[in-house]
Structure 1
Amino acid sequence: MVVDDAEVYEVEPVAVAYQVEPVAVAYNADAGVVRNTAGAVVGGTKSFFKTVTHPAAISAEVGTLGYGANLGWALNDKTELQAGWAGGDVADLFGGDFDVNDINYDVDTDFSNPYLGVQYRPMANWFTMGAGIIVPDNEINVTANAEGSFFKIDGIQYNAAQTGTLSGTVEHRNKLAPYATIGFRPNITNNFGLFGELGAAYLGKTDATVRSSNPNADVNFTNAQGNPDSIKGSEVAEKAQAQLENKDYLEWMPIVKVGATYRF
């Protein structure tokens, strides 16, 4: 019997390489949306740090929270994460004064409002809805204006010259203030756009401090029974302080702001 010799050949496996496209963010000029085409903020560590250091947009703003700016990162084609700061002296935006019962107070402010929030475009167009958290550190100084020659508190007129200057501070109790807004973000060019927002932030109840420049002086007044009486200047300040604290000035901070955005 004849057996044919046979040769055995080893077949190598075939490998096919595919090129993976890098993460990219595109901008839809018609809808005004920053589009994240392959995933952005959430991913690997390398992708995360690359995204954080390469925001999709930068904005400048002015409004009731102050003068400031923010950076934006695309989460998807309808949602953008924002981190920003607004502050400065914005008392004039509130009229520069306010009334507490019968006393008018001049206001001087120094605001600092860092915030983190999300802008959402429910219809993928220029209309936006926003929400987030503010970390308020706002300095509010007040000075009482006398009504003629008196400070009128709880219906009693206290001699203003004897009381001296009534001045103090107002501080909100909330260390974190939630906010919500609605707005619009029309585009001028592919890279440049404008925006406006309306809303409110809950800053919480207030703690007030009022001092008299003549704390130890005798202050004359006519009591509820129509008899002449007197108290110390510091006591007049305490009465004004109680009224001011009950006012809860800017417990709900109105948010009105406009600005401009540049998209990379």
Structure 2
Amino acid sequence: MKLIKLTAISAAVLASTAALAADPVIVVDNNDAVVYKAEPVAVAYQAEPAYAYNSDAGIVRNTTGAVVGGTKTFFQTAVNPASVSAEVGTLGYGANIGWSLNEKTELQAGWAGGDVADLFGGDFDANDINYDVDTDFSNPYLGVQLRPTGNWFTMGAGIIVPDNDIDVRANAEGEGYYSIDGNKFYAGNATLDQSLAEDFGGDNVGNLEGSIEHRNKLAPYLTVGFRPNITNNFGLFGELGAAYMGKVDANVRYTGEGGNVVAAQDAARQAEKDLEDKSWLEWMPIVKLGATYRF
């Protein structure tokens, strides 16, 4: 009888364990009843996802998890930017969109452009000749903003794709001459009689004007700045830095008809050399201010 009891008890315990917390098992021996309650021997744990997307802030908390997790997170991040900003500065007037990769890293894509020649003074000198400048900037860029200390201090780096039109026009000085390579060239109307220019001791070449273009098709940049938050959604920012635009190629022509054509061509070629040696804005300073709205 004892053997039968032990066999029944063992079978009941095994059955309850397999069922993981099934109903209590009752074993009856004559008038005695014994209740055995099986305890679960295994606990199932649910794995947490490798990444979490915060739809309010547009933040991927774990970029590695996002890579493993699939393209849905990338799509959600792309269509849910963390911020939009408006800016004005030496690159022009523009805006950018930011995507937060984490609390300290933000990817930015933006554009800045327009006529900003006055921000650089509107003119410059190249080998004793003063040039007026007109600009039409177009500077799309892609960069990363870092908050290395987790506060308002920022560091930025990226690439600009410059497409900037820069027109120049030489200004005559003194009695109306350009002084180029030690020679005097009369800057009046090229249709004037050459003898008039000779009376002033030089050749009549008309007006010298043209354009310059930076050689770099991709311009790396670095900045430091500040980005304090004014409210939960609004903030301000300022940045200082520089972009390497490279040396310039110049194209200078003389305007008008008549005069000394050979002298005018020589003056234009020498002016081109002077402008390329000057390499105006080879290192373009970056100074910008703006406001940001965060979603």
Determine which structure has more spread, i.e. the larger CA radius of gyration. 2
Selected match of 1:168 from 197, 203, 210: 210
Unmatched tracts of structure 1, length 5 or more: 28-33, 220-230
Q: Deviations 1:90-130 (Å, cap 9, x if unpaired)? A: 11110111111211101011111111111111111111111
Provide the residue aligned with 1:159 in structure 2: 186
Bigger fraction of residues in helix: 2
TM-score (norm 2): 0.76
Q: 1:39: Cα distance to partner?
A: 3.0
Selected match of 1:190 from 220, 224, 232: 232
Selected match of 1:23 from 30, 43, 53: 53
Paired residues, what number? 246
Provide the residue aligned with 2:243 in structure 1: 201
Contact 1:26 1:37 in 2 (8 A): no
Contact 2:96 2:110 in 1 (8 A): yes
Task: Report whether the alignment pairs 1:38 with 2:64.
Answer: no
Provide the residue aligned with 2:118 in structure 1: 92
Q: 1:149: Cα distance to partner?
A: 1.2
Give the Cα separation in 2 of the matches to 1:214 and 1:37: 62
Contact 2:88 2:94 in 1 (8 A): yes
Give the Cα separation in 2 of the matches to 1:116 and 1:107: 27
SS at 2:138's partner residue?
strand
Give the Cα separation in 2 of the matches to 1:25 and 1:128: 24
Q: Deviations 1:56-86 (Å, cap 9, x if unpaired)? A: 0110000000000011111121111111110
Q: Cα distance 1:40–1:58, how it changes in 2: closer, same or farther (>3 A)? A: farther
Amino acid at match of 2:179: K
Q: Deviations 1:15-50 (Å, cap 9, x if unpaired)? A: 6667869511666xxxxxx8x363369432111011
For the aligned residues, what is the CA RMSD?
2.7
Give the Cα separation in 1 of the matches to 2:216 and 2:257: 31
Q: 1:158: Cα distance to partner?
A: 1.0
Unmatched tracts of structure 2, length 5 or more: 21-42, 189-203
Instruction: Report percent identity of matched pairs.
Output: 63
Give the Cα separation in 2 of the matches to 1:91 and 1:85: 17
Q: Cα distance 1:174–1:119, how it changes in 2: closer, same or farther (>3 A)? A: same
Give the Cα separation in 2 of the matches to 1:22 and 1:250: 45
Give the Cα separation in 2 of the matches to 1:154 and 1:76: 57
Give the Cα separation in 2 of the matches to 1:255 and 1:176: 16
Contact 1:126 1:186 in 2 (8 A): yes
Q: 1:263: Cα distance to partner?
A: 0.4
Selected match of 1:54 from 61, 75, 80: 80
Higher relative contact order (CA 8 A, sep 6+): 1
TM-score (norm 1): 0.84
